[in-house]
């Protein structure tokens, strides 16, 4: 994800919801100063006292301005407002993500812009395409311009974004947000009506070194049946079933719990396929157990009493 942009005398830092590609704010500051690295050679030998890594960095300056994102249910930016709540920028989209920006006069003079589109996408001004991490997306035709790098595991249409951009997302440019639900159905575990297919290891962790290594080897699909459980999307069903509510963006603690467990696996490049897949499977089971034992929740709006246990 984009951390910051800097040019001339100004920089913009981007903040995101933890474990996701949903933007929260733009922080405008002075330009980030580069560090000059000496050209060490036989005539200019290495000197630790001149090593940039051993020098104190410049003191951070106070932000010039902060602008806050307002996103829809899928995490697509709809507007930016300033610290006083005044509208700085508003976004309109066609069905497949082609955007039109309406920029307030004051914001235009401050060079305010929004580079983000559908969740996980960054607009490239030169090409008009959207960078979607693993490939580029063309919003005019609603399709990726290259084949799905995971092949047919993402579906038989290897250039499609999603059947329905109102409900589905593809933050990594690999496959749509309902793939785990479809894989559960194919495995004989269909989700009931008003239930969602929940990723035990979140899609947003697809670029974690452990998951990426297993995906690159072709031995793991984050949307596989084993990584999914059916969870209710309505509070009434959550109460009656005792199962965790799955509605909206998840709490950051859930993402961090999965990330820390993946971190503990170690260096995946030193493992055989069987060992790596086994360790990932254990993380999936631990995340499932935590949900069953109510050790962690997905939503602040979960209506169940504390310590409600269930079987998933």
Can you give the pLDDT at residue 170? 75
3-state secondary structure 42-108: CCCCCCHHHCHHHCCCCCCCCCCEEEEEEECCCCCEEEEECCCCCEEEEEEECCCCCEEEEECHHHH
Can you give the pLDDT at residue 74? 80
List, in order, residues 6 or more apart from 84 with CB less than 8 Å away. Answer: none
Can you give the pLDDT at residue 136? 94
Q: Are strands 4-7 and 10-16 parallel, antiparallel or unpaired?
A: antiparallel
List, in order, residues 6 or more apart from 138 with CB less than 8 Å away. Answer: 128, 129, 130, 144, 145
Can you give the pLDDT at residue 26? 94
In this structure, are residues 224 and 203 in contact, taking their beta carbons and an 8 Å threshold?
no
In this structure, are residues 192 and 163 in contact, taking their beta carbons and an 8 Å threshold?
no
In this structure, are residues 104 and 88 in contact, taking their beta carbons and an 8 Å threshold?
yes
Produce one character per residue of 4-18: b if its CB has 16 or more CB atoms within 10 Å, e if not. Answer: eeeeeeebbbbebbb
CB atoms within 10 A of CB 290: 18
Q: What residues does 92 pair with on adjacent strands?
A: 100
Listed residue (178, 146, 149, 147) closest to 162, CA to CA: 178
For 117, 141, 174, 247, 300, the CA distances from 96, given in Å and listed in that order, are 10, 7, 17, 23, 31
Whole-angstrom distance, CA of residue 49 vs CA of residue 205: 40
- Dump pLDDT digits (tens) for 93-125: 998 999 887 766 666 667 788 999 998 899 998
Listed residue (101, 107, 104, 93) closest to 26, CA to CA: 107
* Segments of the chain scoring below 70 in pLDDT: 1-2, 19, 103-109, 150-156, 163, 167, 173-177, 248-249
Judge residue 161's burial from the number of C-beta atoms within 10 Å of its C-beta, 0-12 exposed, 13-18 middle, 19 or more buried.
buried
Question: What residue ranges do the domains of the chain occupy?
Answer: 4-34+51-118, 179-312
CATH number for region 4-34+51-118:
2.40.128
Produce one character per residue of 84-122: b if its CB has 16 or more CB atoms within 10 Å, e if not. Answer: eeeebbbbebeebbbbeeebbeebeebebbbbbbbbbbb
């Amino acid at each position: 994800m984009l951390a910051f942009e800097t040019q001339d005398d100004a920089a913009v830092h981007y903040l995101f919801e933890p474990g996701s590609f949903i933007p929260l704010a733009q922080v405008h500051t002075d330009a980030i100063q580069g560090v000059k690295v000496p050209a060490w050679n036989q005539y200019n030998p290495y000197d630790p006292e001149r090593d940039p890594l051993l020098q104190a960095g410049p003191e951070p300056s106070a932000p010039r301005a902060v602008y806050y994102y307002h996103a829809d249910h899928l995490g697509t930016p709809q507007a930016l407002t300033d610290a006083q709540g005044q509208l700085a920028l508003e976004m309109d989209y066609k069905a497949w993500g082609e955007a039109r920006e309406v920029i307030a006069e004051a914001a235009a003079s401050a060079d305010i812009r929004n580079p983000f589109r559908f969740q996980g996408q960054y607009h490239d001004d030169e090409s008009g395409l959207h960078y979607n991490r693993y490939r580029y997306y063309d919003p005019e035709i609603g399709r990726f311009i290259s084949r799905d790098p995971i092949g047919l595991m993402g579906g038989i249409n290897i250039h499609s974004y999603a059947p329905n951009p109102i409900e589905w997302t593809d933050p990594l440019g690999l496959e749509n947000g309902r793939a785990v639900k479809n894989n559960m159905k194919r495995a004989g575990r269909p989700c009931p009506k008003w239930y969602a297919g929940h990723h035990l290891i979140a899609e947003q962790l697809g670029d974690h070194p452990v998951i990426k290594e297993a995906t690159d080897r072709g031995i793991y699909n984050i949307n596989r049946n084993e990584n999914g459980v059916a969870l209710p999307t309505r509070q009434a069903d959550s109460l009656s079933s005792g199962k965790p509510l799955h509605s909206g963006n998840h709490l950051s603690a859930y993402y961090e719990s999965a990330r820390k467990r993946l971190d503990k696996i170690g260096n995946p490049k030193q493992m055989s396929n069987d060992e790596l897949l086994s360790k990932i499977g254990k993380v999936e089971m631990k995340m499932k157990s935590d949900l069953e034992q109510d050790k962690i929740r997905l939503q602040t709006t979960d209506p169940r009493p504390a310590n409600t246990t269930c079987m998933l």
